[in-house]
Protein backbone atom coordinates (compact mmCIF):
# COMPACT_ATOMS: atom_id res chain seq x y z
CA UNK A 1 0.00 0.00 0.00
CA UNK A 2 1.36 3.44 -0.84
CA UNK A 3 3.01 5.22 2.09
CA UNK A 4 3.47 2.08 4.21
CA UNK A 5 6.85 1.49 5.74
CA UNK A 6 8.69 -1.79 6.12
CA UNK A 7 8.22 -3.62 9.40
CA UNK A 8 9.10 -6.78 11.31
CA UNK A 9 6.35 -9.31 10.61
CA UNK A 10 7.36 -12.14 12.94
CA UNK A 11 9.62 -15.13 13.39
CA UNK A 12 9.74 -18.88 12.86
CA UNK A 13 11.61 -21.57 14.78
CA UNK A 14 12.05 -25.00 13.21
CA UNK A 15 14.23 -27.96 13.98
CA UNK A 16 14.82 -31.55 12.96
CA UNK A 17 15.54 -34.35 15.44
CA UNK A 18 16.83 -37.74 14.39
CA UNK A 19 16.35 -39.98 17.45
CA UNK A 20 18.21 -42.96 15.95
CA UNK A 21 21.69 -42.00 14.78
CA UNK A 22 22.52 -45.28 13.06
CA UNK A 23 21.29 -46.07 9.54
CA UNK A 24 18.25 -48.35 9.36
CA UNK A 25 16.08 -49.70 6.56
CA UNK A 26 13.56 -46.98 7.51
CA UNK A 27 14.93 -43.87 9.24
CA UNK A 28 12.92 -41.46 11.38
CA UNK A 29 13.09 -37.66 11.74
CA UNK A 30 10.85 -35.51 13.98
CA UNK A 31 10.24 -31.98 12.67
CA UNK A 32 8.62 -29.41 15.02
CA UNK A 33 7.96 -25.85 13.82
CA UNK A 34 6.59 -22.84 15.72
CA UNK A 35 5.79 -19.55 14.04
CA UNK A 36 4.56 -16.18 15.24
CA UNK A 37 3.94 -14.18 12.05
CA UNK A 38 1.46 -11.33 11.76
CA UNK A 39 -0.95 -10.64 8.90
CA UNK A 40 1.32 -7.97 7.37
CA UNK A 41 3.53 -10.73 5.97
CA UNK A 42 2.61 -10.91 2.29
CA UNK A 43 4.88 -13.88 1.63
CA UNK A 44 2.33 -16.45 2.81
CA UNK A 45 -0.52 -14.69 1.04
CA UNK A 46 1.25 -14.34 -2.29
CA UNK A 47 3.18 -17.61 -2.46
CA UNK A 48 1.19 -20.09 -0.41
CA UNK A 49 -2.20 -18.58 -1.23
CA UNK A 50 -3.58 -18.50 2.31
CA UNK A 51 -5.67 -15.36 1.83
CA UNK A 52 -6.32 -12.76 -0.85
CA UNK A 53 -4.24 -9.58 -0.74
CA UNK A 54 -6.19 -6.52 0.34
CA UNK A 55 -5.40 -2.84 0.64
CA UNK A 56 -5.16 -2.60 4.42
CA UNK A 57 -2.24 -0.73 5.94
CA UNK A 58 0.72 -2.49 7.53
CA UNK A 59 -0.16 -0.85 10.85
CA UNK A 60 -3.58 -2.51 10.89
CA UNK A 61 -2.38 -5.88 9.56
CA UNK A 62 0.49 -6.11 12.06
CA UNK A 63 -1.93 -6.09 15.03
CA UNK A 64 -3.07 -9.69 14.42
CA UNK A 65 -0.39 -12.18 15.53
CA UNK A 66 -1.62 -15.74 14.96
CA UNK A 67 0.69 -18.37 16.46
CA UNK A 68 1.06 -21.76 14.80
CA UNK A 69 2.59 -24.98 16.05
CA UNK A 70 3.20 -27.74 13.53
CA UNK A 71 4.86 -31.11 13.75
CA UNK A 72 5.82 -33.65 11.14
CA UNK A 73 7.04 -37.20 11.22
CA UNK A 74 9.44 -37.81 8.33
CA UNK A 75 10.35 -41.34 7.29
CA UNK A 76 13.11 -41.92 4.76
CA UNK A 77 15.22 -44.65 3.28
CA UNK A 78 18.22 -44.77 0.96
CA UNK A 79 17.60 -46.97 -2.07
CA UNK A 80 20.71 -47.13 -4.23
CA UNK A 81 21.55 -43.53 -5.17
CA UNK A 82 18.00 -42.38 -4.32
CA UNK A 83 16.65 -40.98 -1.06
CA UNK A 84 12.96 -41.86 -0.70
CA UNK A 85 10.93 -40.03 1.95
CA UNK A 86 7.44 -39.35 3.14
CA UNK A 87 6.04 -37.08 5.82
CA UNK A 88 2.94 -36.82 7.94
CA UNK A 89 1.63 -34.01 10.17
CA UNK A 90 1.29 -35.16 13.76
CA UNK A 91 -0.14 -31.94 15.25
Mean pLDDT by 10 residues, the chain (91 residues): 66 92 90 82 53 58 72 90 84 64
Residue 75 resides in a domain:
yes
Q: Which residue from 52, 91, 48 is spatially nearest to 73, judged by alpha carbons? A: 91
What pTM was computed for the model? Answer: 0.60
Whether residue 4 contacts residue 57, with contact meaning beta carbons closer than 8 Å, is answered with yes
- The helix (run of H) or strand (run of E) holding residue 61 is helix 58-61
Q: Can you give the residue range of the structural domain that contains 28?
A: 10-89
pLDDT at site 32: 94
Domain count, the chain: 1
Is 39 a member of any domain?
yes
Amino acid sequence: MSGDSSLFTGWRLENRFRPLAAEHALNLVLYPEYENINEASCIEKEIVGIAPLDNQSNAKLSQAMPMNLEGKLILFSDVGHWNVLGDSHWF
